């Protein structure tokens, strides 16, 4: 149980001395369990591993360790428990909601050295992998078998499968294939008490409760994955990638709904709007028309005849709804360049300003134009620049508020604008997150979407896995009288 006042208490001199003694004991025990070279507590290391890719949230760790096996993860968890410290799992640190940011002097358990693909069964379409395997590396490895791992976040060159499981990550091609939960069959987990368990199984319908489903997306609050059985899908025999450009955002959004209404479900439908187009083009040189107000990137997959028919439908629908031009990628090189432009969007905004704050709310497709207009208005009211790039097919928005944190008062305006964007999305019938998770940055917004009974049910599930709140504390669930009373905790405790 970790109180919200613990950070302030640790600042007292007496508490600081106590913490230093505890930290020394933690380091000694971790070095015994692993090896001195795989345990770090220097100022640079603690600062580096005290944050993830989110740009406005940082925390403080007691130590950082790098296990190489499930047994070593167990040892790290048990050391943390023995010293009364929480722990947090971390992969590559590409998370965007503060999910891997340590709280309350947590021990950071980094799984990137657990990077082996343990087995691949091409006939069954299953691979067992360790959590530190990079997303794109897995697809590259199984591609000779005609297979791929479908979830493809924009960070897939760097993000790990363990992180994908923790956040139930998505990506452009999850429009047709589904997010990570649809592609995980079983997970070996080190539970918060240090015990090892396997959740789920390779049977089509494993018996008992779906604990695998509960674990995927739990953001490290239920334990640490050490082995994962992932489902592999067939590579499509034919692919066509189309780029449509529009002079209005409304026309592009209407095209998205019209394509799906016409009976075509693309593998991916991505949109870049406004300033984002110019930033990406300057960064990548993908051949995007910078005078367009919106670009729609559509990928069609399937049998050759079906893809050819779908291409004709998209071209026709796009033309009917105001597409200025419709281009079909000439070859794999042009297709890869277009996708490089889309997946480099977050990095491209650095050409505008050094910092960005990103949300990933989801809204109904029919509300895209309305909510995007509200987002532009919110940014203007707070004197901020907003760049929009998002998964248009499923309404998963990624508005980036671009700013310079060195300017006094800017962060206050950024936070206020971020809250307003979340409220606008929820008012339109949307939800808090599509793939980045809740973490720290959206934890306090949970009550905007869920009532007290919903949060209490989530708290009960968390307690079933982690009754002592030591696994990634202060994440996902907010503090509140309803949930705290349920758990028998005082109301200032984060659950």
Q: What is the DSSP string of 144-201?
A: GGTEE-----TTTTT-BHHHHHHHT---TTHHHH--GGGGEEEEEEE-TTS-EEEEE-
pLDDT of residue 206: 80
pLDDT confidence of residue 6: 32
Identify the DSSP state of 133: S
How does residue 55 score in pLDDT terms, banded at 50, 70 and 90? low
Q: What is the pLDDT of residue 24?
A: 72
Say yes or no to pLDDT of 3 above 90: no
Task: Check for a shared fold between 117-234 and 353-439.
Answer: no
Does 449 score more than 80 pLDDT?
yes
Largest CA distance in the chain: 74
Q: What is the pLDDT of residues 23-46, one digit of tens each?
A: 678 999 999 999 999 999 999 999
Which CATH code of 1.10.3720.10, 3.30.9.90, 3.30.70.2190, 3.20.170.30 fits the domain covering 238-346?
A: 3.30.70.2190
Which one has a higher pLDDT value, 243 or 6?
243
Helix/strand/coil for 495: coil
Query: Above 50 in pLDDT, residue 10?
Result: no
The CATH number of the structural domain formed by 353-439 is: 3.30.70.2740
What is the percent of the chain with per-residue pLDDT over 90, rounded to a whole number? 86
The pTM score is 0.91
Average pLDDT over residues 224-240: 97
Q: What's the alpha-carbon Rg for the chain, to the nearest Å? A: 23
Q: Indicate whether 331 pLDDT > 80.
A: yes
CATH class of 117-234: alpha beta
Render pLDDT for 344-363 as a digit per residue (tens, 0 to 9).
998 899 889 999 898 899 99
Average pLDDT over residues 136-160: 96
Per-residue pLDDT, 204 = 80
**Quick check: 138 pLDDT over 90?**
yes
Q: What is the pLDDT of residue 147?
A: 98
For range 94-99, the mean pLDDT: 93
Question: pLDDT at residue 493 above 80?
Answer: no
Give the closest residue to 255 by CA, choosing from 293, 303, 284.
293
Q: How confident is the model at residue 17 (pLDDT cuts 50, 70, 90)?
A: very low
Q: How confident is the model at residue 54, as a pLDDT?
A: 76
Mean pLDDT, the chain, as a whole number? 91
19/384: higher pLDDT? 384
More confident residue, 13 or 180: 180
Residue 297, sorted as left (phi over 0), alpha (psi -120 to 50) or beta, turns out to be beta
Q: Are strands 325-328 and 238-246 parallel, antiparallel or unpaired?
A: antiparallel
Q: Coil, strand or helix: which one is 348?
A: helix
Beta strand 184-190 with 238-246 is unpaired
Mention the CATH class of domain 14-110. alpha beta
Task: Report how far residue 79's alpha carbon sits from residue 88's, in angstroms, rounded to the nearest whole number.
Answer: 13
Of 65, 61, 62, the C-alpha closest to 34 is: 65
Query: Does residue 61 surpass a pLDDT of 50?
Result: yes
* Rounded mean pLDDT, 67-87: 97
**Structural domain boundaries in the chain:** 14-110, 117-234, 238-346, 353-439, 450-487
The pair phi, psi for residue 34, each rounded to 5°, is -110, -90
Report the pLDDT value the prediction gives residue 301, as an integer from 0 to 100: 97
* Predicted pLDDT at 1: 28
The answer to whether 87 and 75 have CB atoms below 8 angstroms apart is no
pLDDT exceeding 70 applies to what percent of the chain? 92
| C-alpha to C-alpha distance for 465 and 192, rounded to whole angstroms | 7
Q: What is the pLDDT of residue 192?
A: 98
DSSP state of 381: H
Half-sphere exposure of 445 (CA within 13 A, CB side): 23
The one-character DSSP state at 238 is: E
Confidence tier at 216 by pLDDT (50, 70, 90): very high
Sign of the CA dihedral with 218 first, then 220, 225, and 231 last: positive
* Cα separation, 292 vs 269, whole angstroms: 17
How confident is residue 12, by pLDDT bands cut at 50, 70 and 90? very low
Q: How confident is the model at residue 479 (pLDDT cuts 50, 70, 90)?
A: confident
Backbone CA torsion sign across 136, 137, 142, 143:
positive
Per-residue pLDDT at 153: 93
pLDDT score of 16: 44
């Amino acid at each position: 149980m970790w109180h919200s006042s613990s950070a302030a208490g640790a600042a007292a001199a007496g508490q600081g001395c106590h913490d230093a003694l505890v930290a020394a004991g933690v380091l000694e025990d971790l070095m015994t369990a692993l090896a001195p070279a795989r345990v770090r507590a220097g100022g640079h290391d603690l600062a580096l591993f005290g944050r993830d890719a989110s740009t406005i949230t940082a925390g403080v760790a007691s130590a950082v360790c790098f296990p190489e096996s499930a047994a070593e993860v167990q040892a790290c968890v048990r050391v943390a428990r023995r010293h009364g410290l929480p722990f947090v799992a971390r992969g590559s640190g590409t998370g965007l909601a503060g999910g891997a940011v340590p709280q309350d002097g947590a021990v950071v358990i980094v799984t990137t050295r657990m990077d082996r693909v343990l087995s691949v069964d091409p006939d069954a379409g299953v691979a067992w992998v360790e959590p530190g395997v990079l997303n794109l590396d897995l697809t590259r490895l199984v591609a000779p078998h005609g297979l791929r791992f479908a979830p493809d976040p924009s960070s897939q060159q760097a993000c790990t499968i363990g992180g994908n499981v923790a956040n139930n990550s998505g990506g452009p091609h999850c429009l047709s294939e589904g997010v990570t939960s649809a592609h995980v069959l079983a997970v070996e987990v080190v539970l918060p008490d240090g015990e090892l368990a396997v959740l789920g199984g390779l049977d089509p319908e494993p018996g008992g409760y779906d604990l695998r489903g509960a674990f995927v997306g739990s953001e490290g609050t239920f334990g640490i994955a050490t082995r994962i059985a992932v489902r592999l899908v067939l590579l499509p025999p034919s692919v066509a990638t189309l780029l449509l450009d529009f002079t209005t955002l409304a026309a592009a959004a209407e095209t998205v709904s019209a394509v799906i209404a016409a009976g075509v479900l693309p593998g991916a439908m991505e949109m870049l709007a406004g300033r984002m187009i110019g930033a990406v083009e300057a960064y990548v040189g993908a051949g995007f028309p910078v005078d367009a107000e919106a670009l729609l990137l559509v990928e069609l997959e399937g049998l050759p005849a079906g893809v050819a028919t779908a291409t004709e439908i998209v071209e026709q629908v796009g033309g009917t709804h105001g597409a200025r031009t419709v281009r079909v990628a000439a070859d794999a090189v042009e297709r890869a360049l277009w996708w490089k432009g889309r997946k480099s969007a977050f990095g491209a905004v650095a050409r505008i300003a050094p910092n960005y704050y990103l949300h990933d709310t989801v809204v109904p497709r029919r509300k895209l134009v309305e909510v995007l207009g509200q987002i532009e208005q919110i940014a203007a009211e707070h004197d901020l620049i907003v760049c929009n790039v998002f998964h248009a097919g499923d309404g998963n928005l990624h508005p980036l508020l671009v700013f310079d944190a060195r300017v006094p008062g800017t962060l206050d305006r950024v936070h206020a604008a971020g809250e307003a964007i979340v409220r606008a999305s929820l008012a339109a019938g949307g939800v808090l997150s599509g793939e980045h998770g809740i973490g720290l940055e959206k934890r306090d917004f949970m009550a905007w979407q869920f009532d007290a009974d919903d949060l209490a049910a989530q708290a009960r599930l968390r307690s079933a896995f982690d009754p002592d709140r030591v696994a990634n504390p202060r994440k996902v669930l907010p503090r509140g009288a309803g949930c705290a009373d349920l758990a028998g905790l005082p109301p200032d405790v984060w659950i």
